[in-house]
A and B are shown apart, each in its own frame.
Chain A
């Protein structure tokens, strides 16, 4: 690993490409924060510092993200412990069902929440009808609404990572604790949680960064409550580019500080050592009353967590304008789905999303495979830099990249690596590509690391050229890793809202913006139908991933 790599032109080229795609736009943000049409200036910084609303938004972003971590952890960790350690009827099915919030694209999740818990949503209508109220009993708005959505959509990170971490524990450690007289709680506190620390730190970071980058929930539910992501988009709409750059830079710094803090939280990563034993056995509950209680609780959790999906499906069958004051919609139709394919103007966003997601996924996979070959196999010099650049977009909020790319590709200066792409169909796929680099890169690099290099050497010894070895040996063996990277990247690009809203034009508008405009024109059914399609695609990806894990040794 520490062996110094050799310089190669391919490694240099890849480093240059990633530098241009990932570092250059970000650097430009920081430069333009202190640079205006008239040269270097501190005006933007001063404007930012002097306005309390900016500090408010920054503070809101920070505390809301931390609170999201707390809520998601409080929901996800107990569920992970429950499903990983206790055996009860229906555990497998429910365990899969309650992970489903991860398959809702952010905007789709927000829309379903709006019609479930919003002031005209099912829950509010039911309470209203039940108590004969004149007005909706609550409004879904502000920090608490955002926190509710975040807790719902992000608890799954704690749940899934926590379950995987628990399953990876050496079961004999828990047995050792109980043989040494430690009860369940003491074992949990003194053995399980300390060992899960790196896992939990990882989930914490993931939720923190996701919440910090979250745009859909604050955009729809924020009302007067501003966070940095919404603040940046508004500032840009107002045409104050300099200030937007300062805001973007501030958000970037906050994200990178979070990344740094989580590394400290993780502690020493050398905890996992020695021989791995069997995974801890699940405890079967013998007392029938307790077993019924656990089963009931798990079902309740599953039903609550699946309500947004149900809402979305129900709404997608509601004809426009028929649902007014009733608790449940009075009429149902397939027209919304038909409209999606029948009307050319409706078909366009679907077409746009499909080709842009496909193109960006293919490009991201090509970069990932090139990186895997160069970094893992050939161990070129600068491998570590290539890997960091691949994963950097993961830590940086989507809004930041959107703003950065808008800045980079709005000027024609080919000798500086800048061309005008704004207004062309190429900008969005490029943005998706950058956001997909870590999503595609991580599984593919891991796949390369798990690949036995002697197989490739054997192919070479049998006279296969480097290209033939890649095509006939490496890529087929990497199949599962490639499938994982590609499907996840495709689903992410397909559902993207946060970068699209900054960079789209009418001609290139993707599905997510069609959802937004359908909502604005009160075309709820169509918005929901698009949401259902996106969710199904996400679910298929998720199922594929689980399937593969089940088959893998």
Chain B
């Protein structure tokens, strides 16, 4: 895939400490030209610090940032020429829309008619042609967001950084704006990094997603890769829905593994995380389980909730052992209060070492 090409932007073991806290811990990432990478992680995981290191607002304690092989780690934000869209947009309140967009161009020495032309162009890109003389306070949240994008793109930056760009928008507006950003960044073929804590947003915007946990890279890959083969329980739990079940290894080899879950024994298509008898964590996607008739030697429980969602419904089941499990099935597969059995139904079961890792 894109990894085959030369990398355009590289982060090499980037580290930033704040006193005792290691906000970014030896983070290495590589982006191809035109690639969009989503940095996904819970709040406080260090993703915004990573973005600020890239922008040059913070200096790393160790590590390097390379653009086309050139070290830019020590360059000031001014000479780095990365475009940035801020979480709260940071539009200059004393300048109108046109002057906001012109600001970065003027830094490059663009003047006169050329300046006007490029401001007009940039605003047209985000569907705000003719808004030059509006005050930024007169705009709606979505429009402000687009002005911020136009302002960042106008000086044709080598890299575009977006810090939670949708977090301040109404949910109804988010999806549309997400599509617009995606289409625009694609069209301009600009290498971008977008920080978000919402998995859906990351899936939608990123070619690849880097999941960050406590300043470290937990896993990087396409949305499919992350969902289908999560590298850790954390990634599996953070990306997509899943239920956690305590299990114990019965037998297993490098390909498949039999585990005991409460009263049942299931075989999972995954290498055994440990020798027989060891406690493991079983993560089950909702589609990886199915209902059966309750039977001795199987996993049984009671349906406690059902949420209708079109072709499928999500059922919550409380097992005999007291674990809460979620699965998806045909809406008429069971009713609340039913006593049912559970069995694996295909891919989507993942095993991880330890009761918790």
**Are these two chains actual partners, yes or no?**
yes
* In contact, B82 and A178 (Cβ under 8 angstroms): no
Binds B, one of A149-157, A269-277, A450-458: A269-277
Convert B74-109 into 0s and 1s, putting 1 for each residue whose CB lies closer than 8 angstroms to a CB of A. 001111011110111111111100000001100110
* In contact, A175 and B57 (Cβ under 8 angstroms): yes
* In contact, B93 and A181 (Cβ under 8 angstroms): no
Considering the complex, which residues of chain B in the window 15-67 have a beta carbon less than 8 Å from any beta carbon of chain A? 55-57
CA distance A273 to B92 in the complex (A): 10
Q: Known contacts A179-B83, A270-B137; is A195 also within 8 Å of B94 by CB?
A: yes
Convert A149-182 into 0s and 1s, putting 1 for each residue whose CB lies closer than 8 angstroms to a CB of B. 0000000000000000000001011011111111
CA distance A179 to B151 in the complex (A): 10
Smallest beta-carbon distance A384→chain B, Å: 25
User: Within 8 Å of chain B (Cβ to Cβ): is A186?
Assistant: yes
Residues of A within 8 A of B92 (CB): 173, 176-177, 191, 195
Smallest beta-carbon distance B20→chain A, Å: 19
Residues of A within 8 A of B107 (CB): 180-183, 186
User: Within 8 Å of chain B (Cβ to Cβ): is A476?
Assistant: no
User: Within 8 Å of chain B (Cβ to Cβ): is A5?
Assistant: no
In the complex, what residue of chain A is closest to B108 when comparing beta carbons?
A181
* In contact, B78 and A182 (Cβ under 8 angstroms): yes
Residues of A within 8 A of B155 (CB): 180-181
* In contact, A274 and B88 (Cβ under 8 angstroms): yes
Convert B142-162 into 0s and 1s, putting 1 for each residue whose CB lies closer than 8 angstroms to a CB of A. 001000000110010000000
Query: Looking at the complex, which one of B56, B103, B137 makes contact with A190 (CB distance below 8 Å)?
Result: B103
In the complex, what residue of chain B is closest to A191 when comparing beta carbons?
B92
* In contact, A181 and B104 (Cβ under 8 angstroms): yes
Residues of B within 8 A of A182 (CB): 78, 103-104, 107
In the complex, what residue of chain B is closest to A177 when comparing beta carbons?
B103
Considering the complex, which residues of chain A in the window 267-295 have a beta carbon less than 8 Å from any beta carbon of chain B? 270-275, 277, 281
User: Within 8 Å of chain B (Cβ to Cβ): is A479?
Assistant: no
In the complex, what residue of chain A is closest to B168 when comparing beta carbons?
A275
User: Within 8 Å of chain B (Cβ to Cβ): is A194?
Assistant: yes
User: Majority SS of interface residues in chain A?
Assistant: helix
In the complex, what residue of chain B is closest to A170 when comparing beta carbons?
B90
Considering the complex, which residues of chain A in the window 173-229 have a beta carbon less than 8 Å from any beta carbon of chain B? 173, 175-183, 186, 190-191, 194-195, 197
In the complex, what residue of chain B is closest to A281 when comparing beta carbons?
B57
Q: Known contacts A176-B92, A271-B93; is A181 also within 8 Å of B84 by CB?
A: no
Q: Known contacts A172-B86, A195-B93, A271-B94; is A180 also within 8 Å of B57 by CB?
A: no
Interface size class of B (residues with CB under 8 A): 20 to 34
User: Majority SS of interface residues in chain B?
Assistant: loop
CA distance A215 to B87 in the complex (A): 52
A-B interface pairs (CB < 8 A), number: 82
Q: Known contacts A175-B55, A176-B90, A195-B93; is A181 also within 8 Å of B78 by CB?
A: yes
* In contact, B90 and A175 (Cβ under 8 angstroms): yes
Query: Looking at the complex, which one of A172, A270, A273 makes contact with B90 (CB distance below 8 Å)?
Result: A172
Max chain A C-beta neighbours (<10 A), residue from B95, B104, B107: B107
Considering the complex, which residues of chain B in the window 98-137 have a beta carbon less than 8 Å from any beta carbon of chain A? 103-104, 107-108, 137
Smallest beta-carbon distance A268→chain B, Å: 9
Max chain B C-beta neighbours (<10 A), residue from A177, A179, A270, A281: A179
Smallest beta-carbon distance A484→chain B, Å: 29
* In contact, B86 and A178 (Cβ under 8 angstroms): no
Q: Known contacts A195-B93, A195-B94; is A175 also within 8 Å of B103 by CB?
A: no
CA distance A190 to B93 in the complex (A): 12
Max chain A C-beta neighbours (<10 A), residue from B55, B77, B94, B144: B94
* In contact, B93 and A175 (Cβ under 8 angstroms): no
Residues of B within 8 A of A271 (CB): 93-94
In the complex, what residue of chain B is closest to A175 when comparing beta carbons?
B57
Residues of B within 8 A of A194 (CB): 94-95
Q: Known contacts A172-B86, A275-B88; is A179 also within 8 Å of B77 by CB?
A: yes
Query: Looking at the complex, which one of B82, B93, B104, B144 makes contact with A272 (CB distance below 8 Å)?
Result: B93
Residues of A within 8 A of B57 (CB): 175, 178, 281
Residues of A within 8 A of B88 (CB): 170, 172, 274-275, 277
* In contact, A179 and B84 (Cβ under 8 angstroms): yes
CA distance A186 to B155 in the complex (A): 17
Max chain A C-beta neighbours (<10 A), residue from B89, B91, B92: B92
Smallest beta-carbon distance A271→chain B, Å: 5
Residues of A within 8 A of B94 (CB): 191, 194-195, 197, 271
CA distance A473 to B259 in the complex (A): 63
CA distance A191 to B152 in the complex (A): 16
CA distance A190 to B103 in the complex (A): 9
Smallest beta-carbon distance A168→chain B, Å: 13
CA distance A281 to B90 in the complex (A): 15
Considering the complex, which residues of chain A in the window 407-466 have a beta carbon less than 8 Å from any beta carbon of chain B? none
In the complex, what residue of chain A is closest to B87 when comparing beta carbons?
A172
Query: Looking at the complex, which one of B79, B90, B93, B108 makes contact with A277 (CB distance below 8 Å)?
Result: B90
Residues of A within 8 A of B90 (CB): 170, 172-173, 175-176, 277
* In contact, B78 and A178 (Cβ under 8 angstroms): yes
Max chain B C-beta neighbours (<10 A), residue from A176, A182, A194, A271: A176
Known: A175-B57, A191-B94. 10 other contacts (CB 8 A): A172-B90, A175-B90, A176-B151, A177-B103, A179-B56, A180-B103, A182-B103, A194-B95, A270-B137, A272-B93
CB-CB nearest 4 A-B residue pairs: A181-B107, A180-B104, A172-B90, A176-B90
List 6 contacting pairs A-B, 8 Å CB cutoff, sorted by A.
A179-B82, A182-B104, A183-B107, A270-B137, A271-B94, A277-B90
Which B residues are within 8 Å of any A CB, using their own CB? 55-57, 76-79, 81-84, 86-95, 103-104, 107-108, 137, 144, 151-152, 155, 168
Which A residues are within 8 Å of any B CB, using their own CB? 170, 172-173, 175-183, 186, 190-191, 194-195, 197, 270-275, 277, 281
